[in-house]
Structure 1
Amino acid sequence: MIIVGLAGWGDHDSLYPSGTSAKDKLRRYGDHFPLVEMDSSFYAVQSADRMARYAEETPGEFRFVVKAYQGMTGHLRGKPYYANDDEMYEAFCASLDPILRSGKLAAALFQYPPWFDCTKGNVGLLRETKKRMEGFPCALEFRHQSWFEPAFRERTLAFMREEGWIHSVCDEPQAGIGSIPIVLEVSRPDFTLVRMHGRNVGGWNQSGAANWREVRYLYDYNDDELLEWKTRIEKLVAQSGTVGIVFNNNSGGHAAENAKRFMRLLDLPVPEFPGTDAPEQLDLFDF
């Protein structure tokens, strides 16, 4: 099975009728895609009540990829919010629990930063993280090229399989040591994650710039690139029960259209953008 979605649901204006409130966007998003990556969880662990509401607001077959809190992946700058790691992981697991119990958790995504390289200490950290997350499906994404250099590629994949990590396969700019190649390998038979970051080479390493969020994921996939990925997805589907594809090229507003175009190439049903829906009927007796 193939499921396609976007990173976040709040920034894709083309999906919603004009005037749609922020609180109604997730419900509307679920009319278009069966999968979403939640990135608000990276900045702050969400309350269990809020996560339960998200589960209730989405269709039965809907799935979430929930990005791990930044304090868990080495991104945090400034004073820690939690007193210690035990408290931090306990809060994150409690947050995930309503999504897990609803059957809608595809994965908690642990995306590590470009400075998280392939060392014995970092391998140990990944083992400890996986133990702390026992009972939750977890996806692993690297940003440092060393994990997939020839000397470590097979050992990295073997480690993910042994530890039960879901492989997050990436399409991203090849921009030096802080980017990884496309590695079409499955680490678990039940689920594989694919994240489409775009190919903006010039903007990829500009995280120190004031407008880096506006340029890093600025990319519009063309049909030839999507057709290449159709062949790749077919290879992954042959090895994995479900492949979830997330378009993260949000900077220029291209993600939603690219995702729907890709769904058509994959012969998946594609709901239309707003403006083609039949008007809602008024209930004259609802006072």
Structure 2
Amino acid sequence: MKFGQVDDLDLVDFSLPTLDKITKTNLSSLRKDNNLKFYFGAPGWSDVKYKGIVYPKNTPAKKFLNEYANQFNSIEVNSTRYGTPKKHIIDRWVNSVGDDFKFSMKIPQVVTHRKDINDYTAKIKTEEFISAVDQLGDKSGINFAVMAKYFKSSQFKELESFINFWPIDAPLAIEFRNPSWFEDSVREEWQELFYNKNIIPVITDTPGRRDVLHFNLTNKHLFIRYVGDFNHPSDLTRIELWTEKISELVNLGIENIWFYVHQPGEKRERILFFYNELIPNINKLLNTKIPLLNNYSYM
């Protein structure tokens, strides 16, 4: 993900924002089930650079998803931005992973990047996407919409209509990119809408757009899209910052954590080293026993 990438990471303040009163109130109202889940993964499984590091070196392309699912328990499916997969594709995905694996699919751009996100075509394409989500069954994770950078807060009513059309039994997360959505008064308005409609706000931690890094949370889900670079020491600092923040949020009522890491295109295999630093922190924090990822460069 190139969104928010910068040339000099040394100039970025990577501190995480504090929680506001509204978020604390929202989280305090949640029923505590004490059923903590940590879902983690990458934005795709088809990168050939994974061979010999994330996957065994002789893995054929048709087995990439199988090997991916042996390492991670979830995936952010970015490829669906180009269109909803056909039924036979979904069937292949479902049969390639274990029972507890989750697919978080991106809503196609033909919906999110339209001039009118509620016109006839948008609704037809949304229904097609929801049918694919239903086909995933228990392996469906969090569906997410990345709104176009030109989708402004002045289009709040359009956002509300889009949410009202979405089925209430299908999880939905929304990411804003236009700065107008992060003005204080506007932020409170959509946070209230999301809370009332059980919508999950996407938290995007990317170096060059610190405004989209927020904690206007609304329910038990914490959905994080993290843009890093494990070749730079800042990733180690950020891992510690996120561990502290996740601890705070779990104590307030967050129970489902979705953490998807984006590394630079030429270094995507570095995701293995990122997670092998983060996972021990998560295991200690959540009392889980997530195994470290296999590093096939040593095998």
Scaled by the length of structure 1, the TM-score of the pair is: 0.78
Do residues 145 (structure 1) and 176 (structure 2) align? no
Measured after TM superposition, the shift of residue 10 of structure 1 is 1.2
CA contact (8 A) 2:177 2:212 kept: no
Query: Any unmatched runs of 5+ in structure 2?
Result: 1-36, 284-289
Are 1:107 and 2:123 matched, yes or no? no
- Indicate the residue corresponding to 2:156 in structure 1: 123
Percentage of identical aligned residues: 19
CA contact (8 A) 1:167 1:188 kept: no
> Is the CA contact 2:41–2:260 (under 8 Å) kept in the aligned structure 1?
yes
Distance 2:109 2:281 in 1: 35
Query: 1:40-89 deviations in whole A, cap 9, x for unaligned?
Result: 1111210122112212211111111101101111179xxxxx98233212
Q: CA separation of 1:265/1:188 partners in 2, compared to 1, >3 Å: closer, same or farther?
A: same
The residue correspondences of 1:130-169 to structure 2 (distance < 5 A) are: 130-134=163-167, 135-169=169-203
Which of 1 and 2 has higher RCO (CA within 8 Å, sep 6+)?
A: 2
Q: Distance in 2 between matches of 1:62 and 1:197?
A: 22
For residues 40-119 of structure 1, what are the structure 2 equivalents within 5 Å?
Answer: 40-74=79-113, 84-99=121-136, 101=137, 103-119=138-154
Supply the RMSD in Å over aligned alpha carbons. 2.5
Residue 224, structure 1, aligned to residue 259, structure 2: no
Q: Which amino acid aligns with 1:168?
A: V
CA distance in 2 between counterparts of 1:220 and 1:247 reads: 16
Scaled by the length of structure 2, the TM-score of the pair is 0.75
In 2: Cα distance, 1:50 partner to 1:219 partner: 37
Number of matched pairs: 247
Give 1:107 deviation, angstroms.
1.1
1:184–1:248 Cα change, 3 Å: same
Structure 2 equivalent of residue 9 of structure 1: 45
Q: Classify 1:166/1:220 alpha carbon distance in 2 versus 1 (closer, same or farther; 3 Å).
A: farther
Q: Deviation digits for residues 7-58 of structure 1, max 9, x if unmatched? A: 1111251211123122211110111111111111111210122112212211
Q: Note if contact 2:228-2:264 (Cα within 8 Å) is conserved in structure 1.
A: no
